[in-house]
Amino acid sequence: MTRLSVNKTYKLYINGQFPRSESGRSYPVTDAKGDFLANASWASRKDARDAVKAARAAFPDWSGRTAYNRSQVIYRIAEVLESRRGQFEDEIRSQEGAAASLARKAVDAAIDRLVWYAGWSDKLPQVLGGANPVAGPYFNQSTPEPSGVIAVIAPKGPLLGLVSVIAPVITSGNTCVAIASEPHPLSAITLGEVMATSDLPAGVVNLLTGPQHEIAPWLASHMDVNGIDLTGVRDADLAISLEQAAAENLKRVRRSGVEDLFSAPDLDRMTTYLEIKTVWHPMGL
Amino acid sequence: MTPSKDVARTAAAFEYAPAPESNSIATIRPHVGLFIDGDFRDGSGRAFKTINPATEEVLSEVSEATEVDIDRAVKAARAAQRRWARLTGAERSKFLFRLARIIQERAREIAVLESIDNGKPIKESRDVDIPTAAAHFFYYAGWADKLEYSGHGPTPRPIGVCAAVIPWNFPFLMLAWKIAPALATGNTVVLKPAETTPLTALLFAEICQQADLPPGVVNIVTGAAATGAELVSHPGIDKIAFTGSTVVGRQIAKSVAGTDKSVTLELGGKAANIVFDDAPIDQAIEGIINGIFFNQGHVCCAGSRLLVQESVFEEVIDRLKRRMAILRVGDPLDKNTDIGAINSKSQLDKITELTESGLAEGADSWSPECTLPAKGYWFAPTVFTGVSQANRIAREEIFGPVLSVLTFRTPKEAVEKANNTPYGLSAGVWTEKGSRSLWMASQLRAGVVWSNTFNRFDPASPFGGYKESGYGREGGRHGLTAYLAPTHFTTSGSR
């Protein structure tokens, strides 16, 4: 007699915990052939707001940590992801119907990307900041600082897309609320499990699953969100309305666009959510 | 008798003789047109008058640019851009050095014209606005042939045609902040100066002619808000650089949704100027005065919220009042004037309305005795005490010589109060304790933190805000980012 398997319930990842959507709603996720895989949580406005609250609460501690510490935590995410790579490869294959080699390549790239961004934490201030030679007896220095809470709408795909948009945001000290790809939410929640066991403080990354056209407007108009990444928005009208809503409190906006996720990233995913602070002090006896 | 009255009387006993700068150095034409494609031409809108806010006399009649004119200017800028970007960086660099030198040569003339059109004291236009503008051109001139070293990749590219919309508080300096980095990076510009202060921008157009700058590289269109809106919404614009109110900045950010236009915004502020009990008090008093009364308080980064540690509150306020009592309000062209004219009737009305709200909400107002000229727009330096964080005068940008004073007990409370605003442009910290100064600077959510100083500007020093004070930086290497094509499209970015 075959053993009945124990199926995982996929919930949300908010404030370091895995709650169901407060709305009680869920939606079925299917594999590439259209067969049922699992039910995912259908996040509501309230979930989005709870996630922003958690991200805001996590911001002072995360942004206040040393860059070395943030760097190690993000590297730790890569380590844990590596140790669970088999599970992610399986999920990618079942969700996307991808060949084993492609699934392996995607997981490799996601892990390597985390490692790449992990190393940026303590390099950004030197690369982007520095001393300014002002014409007077002043010490004058510029440093990048994180913008705050960033809403991220992840591109399609189970893992690499999500990692590619979250890692650059948090490495500099921002906290984030991400909406996972609507058709591929399962690995996002599994990634949440990786994060929850990687010394990443609760609330630094919050993951919502569900329809982006329903959840994203609440994040775009939220007055305690400082930036928004529209990478995963494919509907042009939705992108316009989100950018307009984001203007209300002058969020830093990254517009949507198609990019090859396998190609090497530039600095722009980090710099969009950085503020340059310049400090002056007189010099004299 | 209070100490402040005592000082005021002493000051009165030693009256200064008038020391007016001659206005004959500035040529004011009765009528000025738009500067498009290297030539002045009349606009197709209704000409408007610019006045001297210190006397209310009409200075000049200025053309209004409408849709047709703007279209012409953008097309001229587009045509010029291809050639301008194809010049070697070294050639562009030399054009910018030329502009810097001509500004230095004609500095006195520009300063006088600026003070006449804007109302700011001549000592500020002469010693701050115009020299800093020249320095800006000089600084960015040097970047034009070194862009590949600026941290923007091996082959930095210009964005294209830039729309620059600038405010009336530092007309010539803001023009320099926009045009210098735009040109250095190979962009061309259509600039709209503020409706009330167009004259020095039009003088700059003459300077472009003197420098033999290729036609179309710089175009200047004058007009009010409608002209500005027309310009930023023109489909031929690739990049918008705006300095002004948060309300208008928000409209611009909304209007570019769904386009490829990139935007930098330098908007309002409500800066906290924080004085600890161990502050160097004499310097702090000068810093408070400079922070709020420089340029009549028409400064987006003005230190308009004074946060004083409770233990030194009385001492600071007494000394502040004594210092305020000897501020000289009056003729902007007088070299001894500290506070000039309010730029316009509408700005004066706004300041008056907000100060009335301060009284209505229960704060206490104080101003030194001072006689304001009968003609023109004037506002006496004013300090409000007993202000609560909820009062409009503690939350809204007054953009006038009006200071709101609040108190705090601990550094954490100071940080909390200072950051309790949707703005985040600047902040000041006064303390002799180095570790506290650096800790405060790290906690304040503001783009510029002045420690034991205030209102310092330099072309090498990036300037710009956090939160609703806008995005992007002007000045320094960071100021180049705003004018170089991103590898993707984004409305901000501060690399």
Q: How many residue pairs from chains A and B have C-beta atoms closer than 8 A?
A: 141
Residues 6 or more apart whose CB falls under 8 angstroms from that of B12 comprise none
Domain B23-267+467-481 fold: Aldehyde Dehydrogenase; Chain A, domain 1 (3.40.605)
Indicate the average pLDDT of chain B: 95
d(CA B251, CA B271): 23
Q: What DSSP assignment string belongs to B15-53?
A: PPPP-BPPGGGS---SEE-EEETTEEE--SS--EEEE-T
Is residue A37 within 8 Å of residue A96, measured between CB atoms? no
The answer to whether position A191 is within a domain reads yes
Mean pLDDT of B73-78: 98
Query: B320 and B326 in contact (C-beta within 8 Å)?
Result: no
Closest-CA distance, B339 to chain A, in angstroms, reads 24
Beta B272-275 vs B34-36: how paired, if at all?
unpaired
H runs (alpha helix) in A84-139: 85-96, 100-118, 124-128
Cβ neighbours of B250 in A, within 8 Å: 247-248, 250
- pLDDT score at A258: 81
Confidence of residue B12 (pLDDT cuts 50, 70, 90): low
Task: Give A285's pLDDT tier (boundaries 50, 70, 90).
Answer: confident
B274 touches chain A (CB under 8 A): no
Mean pLDDT of B105-133: 98
**Mean pLDDT confidence for A142-170:** 97
Q: Comparing A252-261, B196-205, B234-243, which segment has the lowest mean pLDDT?
A: A252-261
| A201 domain residue, yes or no | yes
DSSP assignments along B271-325, one per residue: -EEEE-TTS-HHHHHHHHHHHHHGGGG--TT---EEEEEGGGHHHHHHHHHHHHH
The mean pLDDT of B312-328, rounded to a whole number, is: 98
Does residue A267 sit within a domain?
A: yes
Asked if the domains at B23-267+467-481 and B272-451 fall in one CATH topology, the answer is no
Domain that holds residue A205: 41-282
Q: Do B490 and A255 touch (CB under 8 A)?
A: yes
Phi first, then psi, for residue A17 (nearest 5°) are -120, 170
In this complex, do B493 and A240 lie within 8 Å of one another by their Cβ atoms?
no
Q: Which residues contact B46 (CB under 8 A, 6 or more apart)?
A: B64
| Cβ separation B453–A268 shorter than 8 A | no
Locate B283 and state its tokens. Answer: 């310097």
Q: Is B233 on the interface with A (CB under 8 A)?
A: no
What pLDDT does B494 receive? 36
pLDDT for residue B13 = 60
Sign, Cα dihedral of B350, B352, B356, B359: positive
pLDDT category at B6 given cuts 50, 70, 90 is: low
DSSP line for A29-45: EE-TTS-EEEEEE---H
Rounded mean pLDDT, A21-41 = 95
Percent of chain B with pLDDT over 70: 95
Position B281: which residue type? I
Give the whole-angstrom CA distance, residue B455 versus residue B38.
35
Residue A32 lies in a domain: no
Q: What is the rounded distance in angstroms from the CA atom of residue B131 to the CA atom of residue B139? A: 12
| CATH classification of the domain holding A158 | 3.40.605.10
d(CA B340, CA B21) in angstroms, rounded, equals 14
Query: Which residue from A minimizes the CA distance to B431?
Result: A281
- Binary contact (B460, A140; C-beta < 8 A): yes
**Window 122-151 of B, Cβ < 8 Å to A:** 135, 151
Domain boundaries, chain B: 23-267+467-481, 272-451
Q: Which CATH class is domain B272-451?
A: alpha beta
Beta pairing partners, B307: B274, B406
Distance from CA of A113 to the nearest CA of B (A): 19
Mean pLDDT of A26-46: 95
How near does any CA of chain B get to the CA of A208, in Å? 24
Domain count, chain A: 1
Is residue A206 within 8 A of residue A179, CB to CB? The reply is no
The residue annotated as part of the active site, out of B300, B301, B397, B474, is: B300
CA distances from B217 to B103, B183, B227, B384 (A): 18, 8, 20, 47
- Per-residue pLDDT at B373 exceeds 80: yes
> Helix and strand tally (H, E) in chain B?
17, 18
The Cα of A150 is separated from the nearest Cα of chain B by a number of Å equal to 12
Residue B300 appears among annotated catalytic residues: yes
Give the mutation candidate from B448, B461, B463 for the A interface (greatest A CB count, under 10 A): B461
Mean pLDDT in residue range B353-374: 97
Where is pLDDT greater, at B486 or A237? A237
Model confidence band, residue A257 (pLDDT cutoffs 50, 70, 90): confident
Using an 8 Å Cβ cutoff, are B122 and B332 in contact?
Answer: yes
Q: CB–CB of B451 and A133 under 8 A? A: no
| A11 lies in some domain | no
Mean pLDDT calculated for residue range B268-286: 97
Query: Across all residues in chain A, what is the average pLDDT?
Result: 96
As a whole number, mean pLDDT of residues B11-26 equals 81
